[in-house]
Structure 1
Amino acid sequence: MFSKHLFYLTSDQLCAYLWQGGRLTGGTRFANTRSGIDDFMDYVDSHNRTAPVYILADLIEEDFQRVTLPHVRGSAARQLLERRLLQQYRETPFRHHEVQGRESAGRRDDLVLLSALTNPSSVQPWVEALEQLQVPLAGVYSTTLLSEDLAHKLKLRDEHLLLVTQQSAGWRQSYFQNGMLKFSRLTPAIDRDGNPINIGVETGKTQQFLTSQRLLGRGNVLQTVVIAPAADTEALDAQCNDGAETEFRFLTLESVASRAGLKTGDDKTEQQAAHLAEPMMLAFLARRKPDTHYTLGDWQRYFKLWRARVNLYAFSAAVTIICAGITGYNLWEQYSADSDAARLATEAAQLEARYRNVMAEMPPRVTSTANMRAAVSVERMLATQSATPLGMATVVSRALETSPQIRLLQLDWKVSLPAANAPAPGQEDNAAAPISSLVAGIPGRAPQVLVLEAEIMGDQDDYRGAVDSMTQFAQALAKHPRMTVEIDKPPVDTRPSVKLAGKAGPQAVASGRAKFTLNLAWKP
């Protein structure tokens, strides 16, 4: 966990604390003088100068104004608020605004709380000292604005709430309406005569002011919560009497400090925590780490550089962790791959040994393994590429399905082979010609020829119908992309060189039906 410098600033002094490991230590005080600021710079220079600094201001010169502004959004809203702040507080750079809702009637303007540290000389010397030392200043915070978060933390949800705390600067009274800060005042703990301030009387004055400002209506009960040490509760209770419009209740500082997460680290801090609320507020600030309440401008540049450096460190650490994870995963994958490779090598060796044992028990082989593999390849080639009449018969069958008047009489299928080679010298003329390898489909399928003889089942005297039936049948066969159809003998031979002869009537039936012959050539 990063350490933090926590400085509690009042009008006359600054108290320095160190927050580390969730524990608050220190409590060194520096007067608001030239020598005190020099001692403060020596103190900061002797400690960790890279730790961020949080200044919690508890000043009398803190002004609060409630205004209504037109409801706008975006950059226009920011410009309007900045302009209104500059008009309200021209003499100080420490300004703050908080939008607290909208009006319920009319044009529903925004309800805005403006606040500022009206005496910048109480803060500016300390800020400039930190700037000179190049210390990262996270922000300047207000105990009043921070008490709004404390009220939410303590679940104080009264409609009209007055939160009273004792701090080194005095008694701080902050008024909340429905959980939103409306007004705050700081009164000294001791009056001019040296007597302790009566809390009940001061609460009455605050209630009168709230009523005059119409923040608290007549008849509304002001719930006053006093945070004080358990040892002082009885004495304070005697000063605070409940009335018709005022109710008091006490919270022990010890219980609130525990809920705020305060862990003291030395006797000096413990003594301060037992009597004052400022260590509790500092611990609450250190745990929440909100954005700065009051604008700092260029005074915050070293903090921005520190935050950028921390983000780069965090990003580098994340990248390193991711790379380490990826490297570990790759190493694990490599180990798994090496294990699998070793296992597969062992299995391969075992299978090789078993294969050798089996082969040793087998009788001598007729031929080599390569020849057996070649024989299997030739057998597969013969099964898939050798010439068979099945392909052409399938085409003829499909054509016959579309021509029911055609009846098949005879098929003559053969393989179209190239001309036989001439006899070799010394070879007898009557020796058989060598068979071409195309018959076996080596290296490819051979062309095939099919002579088809069929007759037409129709009227014997309808020669035109017979010719048309044959023509349709031939066209159906010719639709195959690799099939060539040639008419060898038509049912009626009308060539000029052929003698036209035939019979008609009952005698034609006895002579048979019209027959035709087709020559089919198929090229693979």
Structure 2
Amino acid sequence: MTGLRNAQVLLLRNGMAEVYVLSSGRIDLATPTPLTSAVALNVWCTGFAVHKHPWLILVDQSDELFWWDHLPSLRGKSKAIWLDKLASKHSESPLRLFELSKPKTKVKGMAVTGVVLEQHEQVTAWVKVLLELNAKVQGIYIPAMFHTDSGKPWSHNEPHLILSAHPQGIRQTVFDGKRLIFSRLAMGHFMDRASIKNEVLRLEDYLIAKHMLPTSTQLPVLALDLKDVLQDDEDDARHFELDQQHYVSNTRDVAQAYPQFKWSNTVENRQELRAMAAMLTRPPRHQLAPAAWLAIYTLGQRIKTGWQVALASVLIFAGFAAHHQWHILQLNQGIEVLIRQSADLSVRYESIAKSFPRTPAGTDAMVAAVRLMDWLEAQPQANPAVLLGTLGHALEDFPHLKLLELQWGTQLPPEAAKPKDQPQGQPVKPVVAPQSLRVRGTMTSNQSMRDQRDTVTQFTQALQAHAGLKVKVIRMPYDLQTDSAFTGGVTTNTNQPTFELQLWMP
């Protein structure tokens, strides 16, 4: 916990006031001589920048009234009205604070623990001076609100008592975990341990009677620096024991207990300043002043929070913008790299394309053929390599034939496509369609019609000579087509010497 860095503390004690200034973690006493009245505070503030940092008011006096009650099941506005009436029932002082918790006893409802400063006029006069000067009053606190022990030998979840030295006696503060439930300043001079133990027992009986503690509760006690209070021959306060559940702490050096602050030489190292150091370390969220007294501080905090939210939003949006800008820059760089690679590949392709043989097929057709071959190689059951190889070997013996079109696929031959009668009761075996290749070609020689037809017939017989290959002649050269015009007279036959064959191979 680093604590606050800049603040002013108004310490009210015995009708007088002291002002401590916390600047960049350094604590200085701004009033070497205690101020005796609110008028003196007004005069002192004339030469002091009261608007710069928030004010924390610590009231160390013996007019604290603690009360306990229970709250029925209420919500919303009715709950706030009930709590206000409950607090007003115990005292009309505007300096009050109450907290809700689950009761430790069998009493039904929510437990309400409250604290009121009864002689509020003594505090109000000092605060009005600061409010008239538009000071940022952050809150009004009492020493009992701060859990000032360190190195506790018990659990924080248990009720426990802290005894601390005070110029007017001994302060008794009861915490339930870290929640304050009771505090009182036992006035007088306690000469021995027996009188202190008697005060502890009286306090336990009182809290049990008020249902603030369960029956037969024995409070663990932490005694803070009672060596100056005990007036006996014992030099070592560590020997102080009430019973086996009581402990002693001799952390008299407040500067060592709170090393996050730099203490000026003008500040006396007094035990009473322990509460102030704890307050500056972590000011409680709850305090005693009415909300109207904190209007300037609250407004300043809201403005500060608004600026912080705005700044955080700007930083977040700037971060997103920078991230997206970096991402866009990376994409642009990637696009530039791809453009350069594409240009390099285009130049490389043009240099390679110069070595290609002359062919009527365009680049797109070649790319499509390559992609088709890649797909065919990935199909183990459909590979036209055998059909194409057989057709290629047969063409070697017929150089006058020129292929115009090849259509490869899977198709049943006509005789296999007809359904056959199957004996009843037997499942029908599925028929697997074999590979089919449709061939369309023409003649490149000046042979006669008869010779050209004979050449195609010989080519068909050469294909049929291969085992497993079935061939069907679909069209012979100079066959008449049903869709062609038939005219009389002596004319030149314009039919092209084309032929079509259908090949099947399982």
TM-score by length of 1: 0.61
* 1:209–1:391 CA distance, 2 compared to 1 (3 A): closer
Structure 1, residues 428-455: CA drift from partner, whole Å, max 9, x if none? 524234799xx99xxxxxxxxxxxxxxx
Structure 1, residues 354-399: CA drift from partner, whole Å, max 9, x if none? 4454456x38x646885x6579889999556x9x9x76957x8555
Q: How many residues end up aligned between the 2 structures?
A: 405
- 2:249 aligns to what? 251
Q: Please say if residues 221 and 246 of structure 1, whose CA atoms lie closer than 8 Å, have aligned partners that are also in contact.
A: no
Residue type at the aligned position of 1:420: S
* SS of aligned partner of 1:305: helix
* SS of aligned partner of 1:185: strand
Structure 1, residues 498-517: CA drift from partner, whole Å, max 9, x if none? xxxxxxxxxxxxxxxxxxxx
2:159 equivalent to 1:164: no
Question: Shift of residue 320 of structure 1?
Answer: 3.1
* 1:220–1:331 CA distance, 2 compared to 1 (3 A): closer
Question: Shift of residue 85 of structure 1?
Answer: 0.7
- 2:293 aligns to what? 299
- 1:129 aligns to what? 129
* SS of aligned partner of 2:62: coil
Residue type at the aligned position of 1:319: S
- 1:120 aligns to what? 120
* 1:207–1:430 CA distance, 2 compared to 1 (3 A): closer
Structure 1, residues 222-251: CA drift from partner, whole Å, max 9, x if none? 765442398x48867749996877997542
Task: Give runs of aligned pairs for residues 167-206 of structure 1, distance below 5 A.
Answer: 167=166, 170-176=168-174, 181=180, 183-186=182-185, 198=191, 200=193, 203=196, 206=199
- 2:263 aligns to what? 265
Residue type at the aligned position of 1:267: N
- 2:9 aligns to what? 6
Partners of 1:212 and 1:374 lie apart in 2 by: 104
Q: Please say if residues 421 and 434 of structure 1, whose CA atoms lie closer than 8 Å, have aligned partners that are also in contact.
A: no
Question: Shift of residue 299 of structure 1?
Answer: 1.3
Residue type at the aligned position of 2:203: L
Q: Please say if residues 140 and 293 of structure 1, whose CA atoms lie closer than 8 Å, have aligned partners that are also in contact.
A: yes
Question: Shift of residue 137 of structure 1?
Answer: 2.1
- 2:84 aligns to what? 82
Question: Shift of residue 120 of structure 1?
Answer: 1.4
* SS of aligned partner of 1:18: strand
Q: Please say if residues 226 and 250 of structure 1, whose CA atoms lie closer than 8 Å, have aligned partners that are also in contact.
A: yes
- 2:41 aligns to what? 37
Structure 1, residues 52-100: CA drift from partner, whole Å, max 9, x if none? 2221211222112233x2542533554433221111112x111122345
Q: Please say if residues 193 and 240 of structure 2, whose CA atoms lie closer than 8 Å, have aligned partners that are also in contact.
A: no
Structure 1, residues 458-490: CA drift from partner, whole Å, max 9, x if none? xxxxxxxxxxxxxxxxxxxxxxxxxxxxxxxxx
Partners of 1:161 and 1:248 lie apart in 2 by: 10
- 2:224 aligns to what? 227
Partners of 1:11 and 1:319 lie apart in 2 by: 49
Question: Shift of residue 221 of structure 1?
Answer: 7.1
Q: Please say if residues 193 and 242 of structure 2, whose CA atoms lie closer than 8 Å, have aligned partners that are also in contact.
A: no
* SS of aligned partner of 1:113: strand
* SS of aligned partner of 2:27: strand
Q: Please say if residues 162 and 173 of structure 1, whose CA atoms lie closer than 8 Å, have aligned partners that are also in contact.
A: no
* 1:212–1:351 CA distance, 2 compared to 1 (3 A): closer
Q: Which has the larger radius of gyration?
A: 1
* SS of aligned partner of 1:206: helix
More helix, by proportion: 1
Partners of 1:356 and 1:219 lie apart in 2 by: 101
Match of 1:64 among 60, 63, 66: 66
* 1:132–1:434 CA distance, 2 compared to 1 (3 A): farther
Q: Please say if residues 165 and 171 of structure 2, whose CA atoms lie closer than 8 Å, have aligned partners that are also in contact.
A: no
* 1:135–1:218 CA distance, 2 compared to 1 (3 A): closer
Gaps of 5+ in 2: 373-403, 425-471, 501-506
Question: Shift of residue 113 of structure 1?
Answer: 2.8
TM-score by length of 2: 0.63
- 2:29 aligns to what? 26
* 1:138–1:429 CA distance, 2 compared to 1 (3 A): same
* 1:244–1:18 CA distance, 2 compared to 1 (3 A): closer
Question: Shift of residue 325 of structure 1?
Answer: 2.7
* SS of aligned partner of 1:121: helix
2:309 equivalent to 1:315: yes
* SS of aligned partner of 2:21: strand
* SS of aligned partner of 1:420: coil
Task: Give runs of aligned pairs for residues 105-116 of structure 1, distance below 5 A.
Answer: 105=106, 108-116=108-116
Q: Please say if residues 26 and 268 of structure 1, whose CA atoms lie closer than 8 Å, have aligned partners that are also in contact.
A: yes
Residue type at the aligned position of 2:46: D
Question: Shift of residue 116 of structure 1?
Answer: 0.3
* 1:212–1:281 CA distance, 2 compared to 1 (3 A): closer
- 1:96 aligns to what? 97
* 1:25–1:294 CA distance, 2 compared to 1 (3 A): same
2:283 equivalent to 1:289: yes
* SS of aligned partner of 1:87: helix
- 1:213 aligns to what? 206
- 2:320 aligns to what? 326
Residue type at the aligned position of 2:270: H
User: After the TM superposition, which of the residue ranges 318-327 and 295-304 deviates more from structure 2?
Assistant: 318-327
Q: Please say if residues 24 and 283 of structure 1, whose CA atoms lie closer than 8 Å, have aligned partners that are also in contact.
A: no
2:147 equivalent to 1:144: no
- 2:386 aligns to what? none
Q: Please say if residues 175 and 182 of structure 2, whose CA atoms lie closer than 8 Å, have aligned partners that are also in contact.
A: no
Partners of 2:368 and 2:242 lie apart in 1 by: 113
The alignment-based identity, stated in percent, is 14
Residue type at the aligned position of 2:271: L
User: After the TM superposition, which of the residue ranges 11-20 and 27-36 deviates more from structure 2?
Assistant: 27-36
Q: Please say if residues 100 and 110 of structure 2, whose CA atoms lie closer than 8 Å, have aligned partners that are also in contact.
A: yes
Partners of 2:316 and 2:192 lie apart in 1 by: 59
Question: Shift of residue 349 of structure 1?
Answer: 4.8
* SS of aligned partner of 2:484: coil
- 2:54 aligns to what? 52
Task: Give runs of aligned pairs for residues 370-381 of structure 1, distance below 5 A.
Answer: 373=364
Partners of 1:3 and 1:204 lie apart in 2 by: 41
* SS of aligned partner of 2:46: helix
Structure 1, residues 199-224: CA drift from partner, whole Å, max 9, x if none? 75863663474377374999987765
Gaps of 5+ in 1: 406-410, 441-524
* 1:296–1:7 CA distance, 2 compared to 1 (3 A): same
- 1:420 aligns to what? 484
* 1:288–1:321 CA distance, 2 compared to 1 (3 A): same
Partners of 1:3 and 1:35 lie apart in 2 by: 25
* SS of aligned partner of 1:127: helix
Residue type at the aligned position of 2:99: E
Partners of 1:226 and 1:123 lie apart in 2 by: 29
Question: Shift of residue 118 of structure 1?
Answer: 0.6
* 1:431–1:215 CA distance, 2 compared to 1 (3 A): closer
* 1:175–1:236 CA distance, 2 compared to 1 (3 A): farther
Partners of 2:326 and 2:246 lie apart in 1 by: 68
Partners of 1:77 and 1:416 lie apart in 2 by: 107
* 1:383–1:268 CA distance, 2 compared to 1 (3 A): farther
